[in-house]
Amino acid sequence: MNASELHSKQIKEHAKRLGFLSCGISKAGFLEDEAPRLEQWLAQGHHGSMTYMERNFDKRLDPTKLVPGAKSVVSLLYNYYPSAKQSDKEAPKLSKYAYGKDYHFVVKEKLKELMHSIEEEIGEVSGRAFVDSAPVLDKAWAAKGGLGWLGKHTNLISKKTGSFFFIAELIIDLPLEADTPVTDHCGSCTACIDACPTDAIIAPYQVDGSKCISHFTIELKDAIPQEVKGKFDNWAFGCDVCQDVCPWNRFSTPHQEPEFEPSPELMNLTKNDWHEITEVVFNRLFEKSAVQRTQFSGLQRNLQFLK
């Protein structure tokens, strides 16, 4: 076993010990296949109000421009599939990833631990850790590293665990043994396309982000357009429809992360409780939650739109 193979094996063992679902490795470099796709997606305005997607185009496609000297992209998956469900079936719905503590904090801590373990065992390694917070095409890198394929809803799907996981990366200056991509297993299934309440999946493997319920309820800062009134399927923050109907998510198993456990109070909010929520209650329930991203005023707007 050569040095790059040994180091790859050691990193994967540490990732497993820290609770990551899986770990895949790619050689850092220009994402040739992604460049025209990203360019076209932006040109068609499918990023909606997510103007930040227009910035750092070169860095999105080439991690060596983001992390000088980068040799490898270590992609990691972290499970967030919950065992708890909202008790009132008529209550406005919250995307599963936002039930507990904000994943940016939780997964970033794990990445710091992983980086520390790598340096302890291998020696000085330079690089940066990312959790959905920088111009990194995380789904593309995870697919390149063999962790799954991009489904028709453009989310990463793993045959073993479905798609309810966060994707994170270490981009480091250590040469590692690259993994090989896996094949697509969507076949003729169109469950996600058929189920999307706002027809945001405009074709297999193509999503118009500006039509997505997650975009409307989280990213959009203006008023929600009236033409989508009545199409939100009761989602107040985010949307899980395309993942909920995906056959591969029958393999999802509940996460083991205490920080992602939702408070019973949150899970037991009734429809009435949601529509009467005050700023004091909002701040208490969502103090360290990803829901803070939409702020109290944003959540109120979303809830009003559902009425």
Under a CB-based contact definition with an 8 Å cutoff, are residues 126 and 115 in contact? no
Alpha-helix runs per DSSP H in 62-214: 63-66, 103-122, 138-144, 191-195, 213-214
> CA end-to-end span of the chain, whole Å?
62
Retrieve residue 143's tokens.
């697919």
Task: Report the alpha-carbon distance of residue 284 to residue 278 in Å, rounded.
Answer: 10
Give the span between the Cα atoms of 83 and 90, in whole angstroms. Answer: 19
Q: DSSP character for 24?
A: E
The DSSP result for 57-88, as a single string, is: HHHHH-HHHHSTT--EEEEEEEE---S---S-
Is residue 203 within 8 A of residue 195, CB to CB? The reply is no
At 23, is the secondary structure helix, strand, or coil? strand
Which residue in 88, 132, 184, 273 is the catalytic one?
132
Q: Is 62 a catalytic residue?
A: no
From the list 248, 239, 156, the residue with the least C-alpha distance to 198 is 239
Q: What is the DSSP letter of 167?
A: E
Catalytic site positions: 132
